[in-house]
Amino acid sequence: MKFALIGYGKMGKAIEQVIVDQSKGDEIVLRIGEDNLHELTAANLRKADVAIEFTRPDAAIDNIFLCFEAGIPVVVGTTAWLERLDEVKKECADQKGGLFYAPNFSIGVNIFFEINRKLAAIMNSQPQYDVAIEEIHHIEKLDAPSGTAIRTAEVIMDHMNRKSKWVLANPFDSAADSAKSLLITAKREPHVPGTHVVTYSSSVDEIQVIHQAKTRRGFAEGAVMAARWMVGRKGVYEMKDLLSF
C-alpha cells in the first residue's frame, strides 16, 4: 500500500515508524513538512492510495480538500477544525471523497469514551455528583482544550441532562463555572504524551476514570489501521465505524 504523510512532525514520524514496522510491502511515497510544502500537490498525492494528515488546525482543511481533489481518501488526526465539519462533509459529498477523522486514534481512548458514555448514563440519576474533566499535554500543543477532552465532554453531555455546555476553566471568569457547565481544565507540561481524567465528585467520595498515553505509538497505530481500512472507500467515517463497540 502506498501512503502519503501530510505533516511530518511528532505524529508523522510515529506513523512512519508503524508503517515501517508493519512492513507488508508498504511504501511512503510522500512526506510533507513545512520545508517542502511546494511538493504538496494533487499530482503528487495521486501517487498514494491513502493520505494521513497530522498538521495544524489552520492547515488541515486545505489539505483535506486537496486530497478530495486528488481523489484519494484522507485520514485526519489534526484537531481543532471541527467547527467547519459541515462544510467539509459537504465538500466530501460534492467531490465524492473519502474522509476518516478522529480527535484520538488510540484504541484505549475509544474504550475510555465508551466507559464514560456508560458512566454518564448511571450518573444522570445521581445529582449529588458533579463532573469535571482535566487534560494534560505537551507545551507545544496549539489547541486547548484537546479534541479528546471536547469529545469526552460531548459523550458525557449526551447522557447527562444536568450539563448543557462545556467551558474551559478560567480562573478570571467565575461566571463560567455554573452548575450547568462541564468544566474542562487544560494543563501544559514538557514532554508528556497526553492524559485525560474524568472526575465525579460528591461531598462524601470521588470516582475517577483516567486515560494516560505512554507514547504516541497508540495514536499512530490507530491512524494506520484507519488508513488501511479507508482504501477504496468514499464518504465520512469515524472510529465507531472501525471499532466494534
Beta strands in the chain (DSSP E): 2-6, 27-32, 50-53, 74-76, 98-101, 130-138, 165-168, 181-189, 195-201, 206-212, 235-237
Tell me, what DSSP letter sits at residue 161? T
Q: Tell me how many degrees the CA angle 165-166-172 measures, rounded to the nearest 5.
A: 115
Output the smallest distance, CB 59 to ligand NAP, in A: 3
Does the annotation mark 141 as catalytic? Answer: yes
Asked whether position 239 contacts ligand NAP by CB under 6 A, the answer is no
Output the smallest distance, CB 235 to ligand NAP, in A: 19
Does the annotation mark 159 as catalytic? Answer: no
Stretch 128-167: interaction string toward ligand NAP, x if CB under 6 A: -------------x--------------------------
C-alpha to C-alpha distance for 73 and 97, rounded to whole angstroms: 6
C-alpha to C-alpha distance for 33 and 36, rounded to whole angstroms: 6
Per annotation, catalytic residue among 13, 141, 159, 234: 141
Q: In a 3-state reduction of DSSP, which class is residue 171?
A: coil
Considering only residues 18, 28, 32, 155, which one is a binding residue for ligand NAP as defined by CB under 6 A? 32
Residue numbers 47-66 binding ligand NAP by CB under 6 A: 54-56, 59, 63
Output the smallest distance, CB 145 to ligand NAP, in A: 11
Tell me, what DSSP letter sits at residue 143? S
Residues that bind ligand NAP (CB under 6 A): 6-12, 32-35, 37, 54-56, 59, 63, 77-79, 102-105, 141, 219
Query: Which residues are the active-site residues?
Result: 137, 141
